[in-house]
Structure 1
Amino acid sequence: MIDPSDNSVIKLDFIKKGLTLEIISEGDSSLYKIDENSANENGEAFIQILEGRSYEYEFSKKKYRLKCSVEGIVSKSKKHEHRGRIIPNIYVGTLQLEVFSVDFPDKITKISIEVLATKFNNEPDISYRQNYRNMLESITEKCTDLLMQINSPVLQNFETDFNEDNETIYQRFCFVSSLINSKEFEEAVQKIISSPKTHWINEMEQSDTRKIKRFSSSEIRQLTSSSNRIKLQENHYLNSKGINSIPSKIFSTKKVESIDNAENRFVKHVLEVYLVFCEKCTDNFKVNTREKKEAVILVKKLEVQLNQPFFKEISRPTTLKLNSPVLQRKSGYREVLKTWLMFDLAAKLVWKGGDDVYSAGKKDIATLYEYWLFFALHDLFKEKFKLNQIEQDDIAYKHLISETKDGLNVIIKAGVHTALSGTYISENRKLKIKYSYNRSFKGGKIFNEDKGHGSWTTTLRPDYTLSFWPQEFSESDAEKNELIVHIHFDAKYKVTQFIINTKIDSKEIDEEELEERKGFYKNADLLKMHAYKDAIRRTGGAYILYPGTEAKELRGFHEIIPGLGAFAINPSNEVVGLKNLSEFIDKVINHLLDRTSQRENIASKGYDIHKDPKDDLNILKEPMPEYLNGAKLIPDDVFVLVGFYKDVEHYNWIGSKNLYNIRVDSHHGAIPLTIKELTAKYILLHTIGDSFSNELWEIKGEGVKVYSSAKMNSEGYATENSYLIYQIERSSSKEFENISWNFKELKNYESRRQSAKPFVVTLTDLMKVSEKKSNI
């Protein structure tokens, strides 16, 4: 860990003798200094400050000023302009500061300080180097994995042009350096050196003839032809055969273990190709820039590896045996082969959407975190739901990689809608699922004209949206029929810790309101999730994704959605964060498979309520009871049976028995039975010659009954027919006093011979034809 300090003095003698710039930390800010070797090794400036903190600065000479090309980071004091503050906000990376004198304002000298990331853990150097690099390596690996899935040979012919591709060289360099700088690659090379693949070869050497125990045909021939011979004794066996001398030394072969084989030549070739690429990048980067420093560091690292004695013994390859079992299976070799395949494609990769991430010197870690989350969620949802259809701005793509004149482009870009969709099949339901990045939900006038997706208010664009709807519907039809559910996620790198205080007292509310008046919003991120949930139609939940440690969910009812909350997904602990999110998505899926859920019932009711637009000018102001039989009265859901009585005798029978009868056979006066007739709550009676009626009765009892002709006769109603019987009593609601209804104006009323036929209307429709009795 690097040690913090309160201030640091930067000597600027090269600008003006005796000139210094002092940087002082404010409040809980910290300032760090690293030695030159460490700075060069990591390609960083030796003075380092923290993102999201504030620092004061002061020149030793009053004529000098400080400014920065990044707006809003440097602000000078109004009283003493050689003083001021440096506030990096969420800027991360090498920050170029510009020093100039008021006497020579055009003569600018640039100095660098490093802004370290702090959101991932408590050690800024680890957070900055390790987590940033992890995210970059992860994106590189995911992008190159996507490339590996493309089998079209035409995509393998592009070569980096170092003369024409200056704008993308640093981006390509970042992809490649993330491979070479990885611990996996370094450990693989060391593993190869310590335990290499070897083979046995025959090696010629000059040996003492007397020490050779076994002679080959070649060595036997040398016994008769070689020089420097030794005379044999007369009684020697060979002398008796006519050989009176032998050479003192001959050449013999022996088995020697060698590392100069195809696999090790491949490893050396890989390092040499990496070195050539990095050297070309170095030549194209400007002097004294961060990218130049990074490239030089990588060149030195590769040179150190290639200068090891191991590679001195290995010759250049004539062929590359990429199908070698050793390269594909042996530890060390396997990893080098993997990086080689990734390198070949990474060097061709262009990401036009990653300009903010790969701007030389700047490390836009917030944007990088957003992109990193896209790929992390992409992998999670694709594996979970088998997403296989890709589109961007309504244009279909086969892959997330497209071929351009500059190379192979990753089509993902901030602000551009990209989506993957597929079908999830369970035992009881088939769902279409769509994972969207930067999907806009339009609001305003467009929303009012379109019953599809949209926002009640202004246009909103969450970072990521996961949408679910039944497979048998198109997406637009599912929107119109309230059958789709959206779950939104927003990347919030700037959130340090997401804590929801549900037990807040009035004093804390007052303090928070005071801070909000000053411009400090404690709950701004949570409020934005509320905006997504409440403004975007058919939203089931909105959640923050941030690099913290605490996860929190808030449920709207008793079910998993609708809800709000946050999930901590940290690059240093990616597995745990994604595991928690994955379990949450599983719960959402189980919830969506439940056709009896509260959310499903609310959505169904919502569709019935909103399917027909209501005229704002046609407002019903007539008084009605708030409750009916102890339940909240909803006029649109309350049905009124408009019934006919034949004469005074029939009316008196109804009044005396508190019963109303309707024919249930197929003859004149009978009605077909539907749920509306069976669940009606009121009956409005009328007879021959009526245009208005004030005879409103409430339906009581356990429900509708069927009386046979015998039962009807026993009740004093002479008939040979069966009847549907309602138990009723005159309405006592004060709201209906002195009210008559012009039932002939109701749309279901039929005149002449059909006027006696009962029909059903809603209480809302009935109240639209109501009039005060005094006006009749």
Structure 2
Amino acid sequence: MQLEDGYELKVKGRSKGKEKGEPKLHEENGTIYLFEWKPYLLAGNQKFTLRLLNQETEAEEIKDGTYIAEFQLRNYTGKSIMEILKDGQPLLKKPIEVLSSKVLDIMGVKRDGQTFKTILNAHEEFYGALLEDIIRISPSLPFSIESPTGFIPEESDDSMNELFAYHYLRNNGERIREAFETVLRRARRKLVEEREWMEPYEVTEVSPDTLLSIAQHSEYLTPAEVNAPIAEYLHGHVPTRVLSSRKYESFDTPENRFAKYFLETLITWAERVIESFGGKIDLSPVKETLEELEFIRSHSLWGEVGEMEFFPYTSQTLLKGDGYRELLQLYREFTAYSPFFDNLWRAVENKDIATLYEYWAFFKLANELGEILRNPKLHIDVTLEGRLSQGAKAYASFRRGWRLYYNRKFVKDSYSVSVRPDFSLVKDGEVVGVFDAKFKLDFPDPEKFAEEDEAMETSPSLETWAKLEDIYKMHTYRDALKAKFAVVVYPGRRSVFFKVNREKKEPWALEDLISGGGVKIEGVGYIRLVPGVRG
């Protein structure tokens, strides 16, 4: 494939596998499609650096005037940017999307006579299935944010996204409505005193400034047509306008400006959620909340309230006033930065299927474990600075002290090895088992593990190492955390469990592994989880 400025991109040699792996160009948007695990060569006529997926590769000169950078996209599918740099300065940027033939097997598409379009369509279908399932399953988990007790004002919504806003609005509609209704009933006012020129009959209070304005502004004096006492002191004249003060109560307070700002923000995000997810999921709770917010916005009070220019975070009214303190709490929860949803939305935008599968697997496990352990509820913990609290992360809770943590780190102070499994199942504070989500299709059986290990020594390959690495990791988790089981969640075809007594169970399901009372079987294994398919 010829690129601009004399650069050429091609697959290296004869690519293994049924798909040739040749790069493809999307004629309309300029995206270059590449394939996972395929080796590629980028050639140019000058020395350059290739930057891709946060890694830089220096081109090597193979002959006079010809430089080549070799790269391989391992364990990544989705969108990215390929940059060509010279002396640190960008020369060329090209959008890329990495595809994987594994998706064909997951979607049940035959490889015979496969084409690039077949693979691309399978990717779009699998991506859509993951996203729809995440949106469909996640609302079934009641959602709460454990918000900070202190407050650092953050008025930016850069980390906000439609998926988080959907969960927030869906689960907090009643709280939002009650808080705003309380504010409207008990809206705080301030006494405003304004100096202005007015006609004498409008004056309610005479001050020294009023008298000075009469003496100093002769342009407002006119001959008296009637006998007025003041005319005796003004050579027969009377004032037509005088400077005085007008006092009145106004709703235009910093606290009400905050309430108006938050109201407009919620309406904007509700509209974005409906636009993004319309027709895909049940949006009736969000639509109902939006209707209530628009009704609240129609109140005449907001007409005299200005725009928020600064955040009144020291206001006692905002901290303690009825309705206001509830709005502040809701605002804290709405704007608290959550890497859980931020990273999920980034994966959605980048079509990062491996990461999406990991998030989907968490929701899927939480949902299915909820049927076994009962009363599932999703929690997001944030610290004062808005970051996820160390050790808590996001988790789903169940009855009788069960919790499924997402990406929780277990540090050396507690365990002999510092590890961070994708998902850890905890009972009353003790690790019971771990799950790791892998966007892969096959894993070696323990009885065949020695053969794979020997193959790695005699004919090493990245694919074989990736396969063995997960088996090593499962045993590491069990040993380091004293867990009773370690399971790989993957979109393959088989569900196999190997008990500690070497007995093999195939197929198996989560209800075979665990019950509300505890773990039923111990060992390692892998379980098939695919969007739209149970078990």
When normalised by structure 2's length, the TM-score is 0.53
Aligned partner of 1:568 among 528, 531, 534: 528
Paired residues for 1:241-260 under 5 Å: none
**CA, structure 1 residues 165+52, in 2 after alignment: closer, same or farther (shift >3 Å)?**
farther
Paired residues for 1:530-541 under 5 Å: 530-537=475-482, 539-541=483-485
Tell whether 2:379 aligns with 1:400.
Answer: yes
Tell whether 2:437 aligns with 1:491.
Answer: yes
Partner AA of 1:55 in structure 2: Y
The answer to whether the 8 Å contact 1:137/1:175 transfers is: no
Partner AA of 1:542 in structure 2: A
Displacement of 1:121 in angstroms is: 3.0
Q: Secondary structure at the match of 1:36?
A: coil
Partner AA of 1:433 in structure 2: W
Corresponding residue of 2:491:
547
Aligned partner of 2:134 among 135, 139, 149: 139
Corresponding residue of 2:357:
369
The answer to whether the 8 Å contact 2:9/2:23 transfers is: no
What's the RMSD between the two structures over aligned residues?
A: 4.8
**CA, structure 1 residues 75+141, in 2 after alignment: closer, same or farther (shift >3 Å)?**
farther
Q: Note the alpha carbon deviations across 1:239-261, whole angstroms, 9 max, x for none.
A: xxxxxxxxxxxxxxxxxxxxxxx
The answer to whether the 8 Å contact 1:91/1:363 transfers is: no
Displacement of 1:339 in angstroms is: 7.3
Partner AA of 1:486 in structure 2: V
Tell whether 2:455 aligns with 1:511.
Answer: yes
Corresponding residue of 2:313:
none
The answer to whether the 8 Å contact 1:415/1:438 transfers is: no
Corresponding residue of 2:369:
381
Rounded Cα–Cα distance in structure 2 between residues aligned with 1:497 and 1:527: 15
Rounded Cα–Cα distance in structure 2 between residues aligned with 1:339 and 1:373: 25
Tell whether 2:423 aligns with 1:464.
Answer: yes
Rounded Cα–Cα distance in structure 1 between residues aligned with 2:163 and 2:98: 22
Q: Note the alpha carbon deviations across 1:742-766, whole angstroms, 9 max, x for none.
A: xxxxxxxxxxxxxxxxxxxxxxxxx
Corresponding residue of 1:598:
none
Rounded Cα–Cα distance in structure 1 between residues aligned with 2:92 and 2:280: 48
Q: Note the alpha carbon deviations across 1:707-734, whole angstroms, 9 max, x for none.
A: xxxxxxxxxxxxxxxxxxxxxxxxxxxx
Displacement of 1:49 in angstroms is: 0.6
Partner AA of 2:434 in structure 1: H
Paired residues for 1:95-174 under 5 Å: 95-100=80-85, 106=89, 108-122=91-105, 124-144=119-139, 165=156, 167-168=158-159, 171-172=161-162
The answer to whether the 8 Å contact 2:47/2:61 transfers is: no
Displacement of 1:546 in angstroms is: 1.4
How many residues align? The count is 351
Q: Percent identity?
A: 22
Q: Secondary structure at the match of 1:527?
A: helix
Aligned partner of 2:22 among 14, 28, 31: 31
Tell whether 2:8 aligns with 1:21.
Answer: yes
Partner AA of 2:60 in structure 1: S
Rounded Cα–Cα distance in structure 1 between residues aligned with 2:389 and 2:12: 37
Unaligned runs of 5+ in 2: 106-117, 146-153, 167-266, 294-333, 506-519
Displacement of 1:514 in angstroms is: 3.4
Corresponding residue of 2:43:
58
Displacement of 1:77 in angstroms is: 2.8
Rounded Cα–Cα distance in structure 1 between residues aligned with 2:130 and 2:94: 28
Q: Secondary structure at the match of 1:570?
A: coil
Q: Secondary structure at the match of 2:128?
A: helix
Displacement of 1:568 in angstroms is: 1.8
Tell whether 2:33 aligns with 1:48.
Answer: yes
Rounded Cα–Cα distance in structure 1 between residues aligned with 2:364 and 2:92: 42
Q: Secondary structure at the match of 2:158?
A: helix
Displacement of 1:544 in angstroms is: 0.8
Rounded Cα–Cα distance in structure 1 between residues aligned with 2:481 and 2:104: 34
Displacement of 1:566 in angstroms is: 0.6
Partner AA of 1:497 in structure 2: D
Partner AA of 1:71 in structure 2: N
Corresponding residue of 1:737:
none
Greater Rg over alpha carbons, structure: 1
**CA, structure 1 residues 491+9, in 2 after alignment: closer, same or farther (shift >3 Å)?**
same
**CA, structure 1 residues 413+125, in 2 after alignment: closer, same or farther (shift >3 Å)?**
farther
Q: Note the alpha carbon deviations across 1:184-236, whole angstroms, 9 max, x for none.
A: xxxxxxxxxxxxxxxxxxxxxxxxxxxxxxxxxxxxxxxxxxxxxxxxxxxxx
The answer to whether the 8 Å contact 2:79/2:95 transfers is: yes
Rounded Cα–Cα distance in structure 1 between residues aligned with 2:280 and 2:364: 28
**CA, structure 1 residues 67+96, in 2 after alignment: closer, same or farther (shift >3 Å)?**
same
Q: Secondary structure at the match of 1:22?
A: strand
The answer to whether the 8 Å contact 2:80/2:96 transfers is: yes
**CA, structure 1 residues 35+340, in 2 after alignment: closer, same or farther (shift >3 Å)?**
farther
Q: Note the alpha carbon deviations across 1:427-475, whole angstroms, 9 max, x for none.
A: xxxxx533333344455xx4xxxxxxx54x323332223345xxxxxx4
The answer to whether the 8 Å contact 1:551/1:567 transfers is: yes
**CA, structure 1 residues 174+353, in 2 after alignment: closer, same or farther (shift >3 Å)?**
closer
Q: Note the alpha carbon deviations across 1:675-720, whole angstroms, 9 max, x for none.
A: xxxxxxxxxxxxxxxxxxxxxxxxxxxxxxxxxxxxxxxxxxxxxx
**CA, structure 1 residues 513+489, in 2 after alignment: closer, same or farther (shift >3 Å)?**
same
Q: Note the alpha carbon deviations across 1:372-429, whole angstroms, 9 max, x for none.
A: 21111111122321246x7xxxxxxxx62579999xx9x98997544444446xxxxx
Partner AA of 2:496 in structure 1: K
Displacement of 1:526 in angstroms is: 1.0
When normalised by structure 1's length, the TM-score is 0.38
Rounded Cα–Cα distance in structure 2 between residues aligned with 1:48 and 1:124: 11
The answer to whether the 8 Å contact 1:552/1:565 transfers is: yes
Partner AA of 1:490 in structure 2: D
**CA, structure 1 residues 101+497, in 2 after alignment: closer, same or farther (shift >3 Å)?**
same
**CA, structure 1 residues 415+109, in 2 after alignment: closer, same or farther (shift >3 Å)?**
farther
The answer to whether the 8 Å contact 2:52/2:82 transfers is: yes
Tell whether 2:474 aligns with 1:529.
Answer: yes
Corresponding residue of 1:70:
53
Displacement of 1:48 in angstroms is: 0.4
Q: Secondary structure at the match of 1:462?
A: coil
Q: Secondary structure at the match of 1:168?
A: coil
Corresponding residue of 1:434:
403
Q: Secondary structure at the match of 2:48?
A: strand
Q: Secondary structure at the match of 1:497?
A: coil
Rounded Cα–Cα distance in structure 2 between residues aligned with 1:414 and 1:65: 41
The answer to whether the 8 Å contact 2:344/2:356 transfers is: yes
The answer to whether the 8 Å contact 1:541/1:562 transfers is: yes
Q: Secondary structure at the match of 2:457?
A: helix
**CA, structure 1 residues 362+514, in 2 after alignment: closer, same or farther (shift >3 Å)?**
same
Displacement of 1:114 in angstroms is: 1.8
Paired residues for 1:315-714 under 5 Å: 337=284, 340=287, 351-359=338-346, 362-387=350-375, 400=379, 416-423=392-399, 432-443=401-412, 446=413, 455=415, 457-468=416-427, 475=428, 486-493=432-439, 495-500=440-445, 502=447, 510-515=454-459, 521=465, 522-537=467-482, 539-557=483-501, 561-571=521-531, 573=532, 575-577=533-535
Q: Secondary structure at the match of 2:534?
A: helix
